[in-house]
Chains A and B, each alone.
Chain A
Amino acid sequence: MIRSHVLICGGTGCTSSGSVNVKAKLEEELAAKGLNGEIKVVQTGCFGLCALGPVMIVYPEGTFYSRVTPEDVPEIVEEHLLKGRIVTRLEYKEGAEITQPGENVSLNDTDFYKSQLRVALRNCGVINPENIDEYIARDGYMALGKVLTEMTPDDVIQVLLDSGLRGRGGAGFPTGLKWKFAKGYENDQKYVCCNADEGDPGAFMDRSVLEGDPHAVLEAMTIAGYTIGSSQGYIYVRAEYPIAVKRLQIAIDQAHEYGLLGDNILGTGFKFDIGLRLGAGAFVCGEETALMTSIEGNRGEPRPRPPFPAEKGLFQKPSILNNVETWANIPQIILKGADWFASMGTEKSKGTKVFALGGKIKHTGLVEIPMGTPLRQVIEEIGGGIPNGKKFKAAQTGGPSGGCIPASLIDTPLDYESMAAIGSIVGSGGLIVMDEDNCMVDIAKFFLKFTVDESCGKCTPCRIGTKRLLEILEKITSGKGTLEDIDRLEELCNYIKANALCGLGQTAPNPVLSTLRYFRDEYIAHVVEKRCPAGVCKDLLKFVVDKEKCIGCGLCMRNCPASAISKTDYVAPGHKLPSVEIDPDKCVKCGVCMGNCKFKAISKQ
């Protein structure tokens, strides 16, 4: 009998922090101690707490170890797995109440997990994604069985409509409606597509679902095939996700072996198959029409809508395209019912949403929360707040297509309507947190650089417009901007928004518009006072020496790469050596002098 399971995260985050070596060492130690017959090591998908990887969880106690190194493994085996003593120094327990030392802390009591509600991520970090039996043990493929044996396609659509599920890729279109349209068009061939071309900087929830629970996506796509009358599905996944691609392929092979994909699924005569298509990582290929063009073997460029994909999609046939996270919700909705799903979230935004926390936040990672959870709770409680005692300034949601939420609106609920009302979007769920050291003009510039790089070039507003936007922003951050530039920026943004061909172009100006809306004074400081309030824009910075504080040790002089620092004649009262000064013409604004000064005599202005 296996009395204990040790789950080790094999997601991309923990793999890069070394979980593979930890797993190898653990297996070696268990074998050496003769424990391998009673303790099972399982490699799972993402637990979400990527900042603390590699992470490991030991059941039945449910002890959560973070930042485990191969050197820690002998201690865990000897102390915990053999003697039952928790290795407290490695235990993650932030926020949990501990009544006695050495007490075991359940993961669900920690700040990071206690407000989370895991639906799309329910199997991530629980099952071995490369073992179909473990998925089945968690009611996997039961929804497909139910659909094929008890439900008509219209029943399925009705359940989805009643559940209120909306697309998790960003636009939030009702999923049931999308399927209903596609079902309505008669054709000899239809297609079911999965959008796994996750491209927003900082978003990685789709990758985690594919890595942690690939069968959920396959099951949901097969349900969709039955519902709209399609026998072929495609998953368009970026080639930069090698672990996801590998696990998807394993999952597809296993599903074939069990007859859950192929000609006669579960003996019902229903036929469906899924193919993988690897994308080369162009951001525009996450746009539905561009994605389909790319699957067809052409250059990934969008095409005008209408006709919408439900009528003429992949290979000009009626098609549906849903995002990975949307798919992952569907088997649960079928099994537990529309009412269960609709009981979570808000009036118009039902269910849960996965957010990828990144930027200036303590717990970088993945969280799944009910729709409508206030941003404050996500940042302060789940995310653990801003590191180094800094102040929260803004959060960017929806990546380059979204907008920022300023500190004054930190109590805004995270749902489709509330986000739209303040000029941002839920988007795919990237949540980048910024503190007082971030310059909002610089942030807008960062996202614009991204869109300029990623614009496919097919339509002029996007190809040339975003380039001009970036140039104006560069002019402002280099101190050459004028107030007219700000007006021109705004005008151009609105023009691109109204005239670009696809979603990429239409939303590209959002980071500029929303930073202008909430941080206009920062733009004005850049152009009028030629000053960057956050001290980020190098061209506007000046490093100065406080001559009263400088003791003349010369450390900064020796470290300056540009030889911009020299001695003066001034000796401050109480000091023995003359102070130094910085020649602004020679200074390259690297900040080395400031970092080295032990007397805090150098500051940037």
Chain B
Amino acid sequence: MKTLAELQAIRDRMKDTVNLRSGSGSIRAVVGMATCGIAAGARPVLSALVEEVSRLGLTDKVTVTQTGCIGICRYEPIVEVYEADKEKVTYVKMTAEKARRVAEEHLQGGKVVEEYTIGAVENA
């Protein structure tokens, strides 16, 4: 037998799961998963991002999704982060390791990991 409090606990636990279907995440992290991206190693980047977002409990505000070719194949794997009212951030030459750092510092902490961004890499 469940009490009302237990029912509310189930609701809170399940909400994240069902929220995905309303597409309500305010931050979107998009991984380039075209053939070039996959060849460059986008698959482990996506997996790492997905695991990390879940581990940090960010599922209600972050949606991880993929997209096709972004057009700058030499910089693949690419992760782009979209947030309402903010400039898009483009991370390039990503690895699983880097993705975990982005999740923690940027998606959770709100601080852009400058050294991985396209601007930093291009000027390096």
- Contacts of A233-277 to chain B: CB distance below 8 A: 258-260, 262, 264, 266-267
Q: A38-B50, A84-B67, A85-B34 are in contact. Are A260 and B2 (CB under 8 A)?
A: yes
- For residue A456, CB closer than 8 A to chain B, the reply is no
Please classify the interface of chain A as helix (H, G, I), strand (E, B), loop, or mixed, using the class held by over half of its residues: loop
- For residue A137, CB closer than 8 A to chain B, the reply is yes
Flag if B11 contacts A258 (CB, 8 Å). no
- Contacts of B15-53 to chain A: CB distance below 8 A: 15, 17-18, 20-21, 23, 25, 28, 30-35, 37-38, 46-47, 50-51, 53
Distance between A251 CB and nearest chain B CB, rounded to angstroms: 15
A85 to B31, CA, bound (A): 11
- For residue A173, CB closer than 8 A to chain B, the reply is no
Q: A83-B34, A145-B7, A266-B3 are in contact. Are A138 and B18 (CB under 8 A)?
A: yes
- For residue B90, CB closer than 8 A to chain A, the reply is no
Which of B7, B47, B55 gathers the greatest number of chain A CB atoms within 10 Å?
B7
A149 to B8, CA, bound (A): 14
Q: A-facing mask of B44-70, CB < 8 A → 1, else 0?
A: 001100110111000100011111100
Flag if A84 contacts B63 (CB, 8 Å). no
Distance between B65 CB and nearest chain A CB, rounded to angstroms: 6
Can you name the residue of chain A whose Cβ is closest to the Cβ of B47? A38
- Contacts of A134-152 to chain B: CB distance below 8 A: 134, 136-142, 145, 149
Residues of A within 8 A of B55 (CB): 1
Flag if B51 contacts A1 (CB, 8 Å). yes
- For residue B14, CB closer than 8 A to chain A, the reply is yes
- For residue A133, CB closer than 8 A to chain B, the reply is yes
Residue A134 contacts which of B18, B34, B65 (CB distance < 8 angstroms)?
B18
Residues of A within 8 A of B46 (CB): 3
Can you name the residue of chain A whose Cβ is closest to the Cβ of B34? A83
Flag if B7 contacts A142 (CB, 8 Å). yes
A264 to B47, CA, bound (A): 45
Residues of B within 8 A of A3 (CB): 46, 50, 63-65
Flag if B15 contacts A83 (CB, 8 Å). no
A383 to B28, CA, bound (A): 34
Residues of B within 8 A of A138 (CB): 18
- For residue A7, CB closer than 8 A to chain B, the reply is yes
A102 to B11, CA, bound (A): 36
Residue B20 contacts which of A5, A84, A85, A266 (CB distance < 8 angstroms)?
A5
Q: A134-B14, A141-B7 are in contact. Are A83 and B66 (CB under 8 A)?
A: yes
Q: A3-B50, A136-B10 are in contact. Are A59 and B4 (CB under 8 A)?
A: no
Residue B31 contacts which of A4, A59, A84, A264 (CB distance < 8 angstroms)?
A84
Flag if A137 contacts B14 (CB, 8 Å). yes
Residues of B within 8 A of A38 (CB): 47, 50
Flag if A267 contacts B3 (CB, 8 Å). yes
Residues of B within 8 A of A4 (CB): 20, 65
- For residue B84, CB closer than 8 A to chain A, the reply is no
Q: B-facing mask of A100-141, CB < 8 A → 1, else 0?
A: 001000100000000000000000001100000110111111
- For residue A82, CB closer than 8 A to chain B, the reply is yes
- For residue A61, CB closer than 8 A to chain B, the reply is yes
- For residue A574, CB closer than 8 A to chain B, the reply is no
Distance between A526 CB and nearest chain B CB, rounded to angstroms: 53
A40 to B71, CA, bound (A): 29
Flag if A133 contacts B20 (CB, 8 Å). no
Flag if B23 contacts A60 (CB, 8 Å). yes
- For residue A62, CB closer than 8 A to chain B, the reply is yes
A141 to B6, CA, bound (A): 12
Flag if B11 contacts A139 (CB, 8 Å). yes
- For residue A32, CB closer than 8 A to chain B, the reply is no
A74 to B37, CA, bound (A): 20
Flag if A145 contacts B4 (CB, 8 Å). yes
Flag if A1 contacts B2 (CB, 8 Å). no
Flag if A59 contacts B23 (CB, 8 Å). yes
Can you name the residue of chain A whose Cβ is closest to the Cβ of B17? A137
Residues of B within 8 A of A149 (CB): 4
User: With A1-B53, A141-B7 given, can you name 10 additional A-B contacts, CB distance below 8 Å?
Assistant: A1-B50, A1-B51, A3-B64, A5-B21, A38-B47, A60-B23, A82-B38, A83-B38, A137-B15, A138-B18
20 contacts between A and B (CB under 8 A): A1-B54, A2-B17, A3-B65, A5-B21, A59-B20, A60-B21, A60-B63, A60-B65, A61-B23, A61-B65, A106-B23, A133-B14, A134-B17, A134-B18, A136-B7, A137-B11, A137-B17, A141-B7, A142-B7, A259-B2
Residues on A lying within 8 angstroms of B by beta carbon are 1-5, 7, 38, 59-62, 82-85, 102, 106, 126-127, 133-134, 136-142, 145, 149, 258-260, 262, 264, 266-267
Residues on B lying within 8 angstroms of A by beta carbon are 1-4, 7-8, 10-11, 13-15, 17-18, 20-21, 23, 25, 28, 30-35, 37-38, 46-47, 50-51, 53-55, 59, 63-68
Q: Which 3 A-B pairs have the closest CB atoms?
A: A1-B54, A84-B66, A259-B1
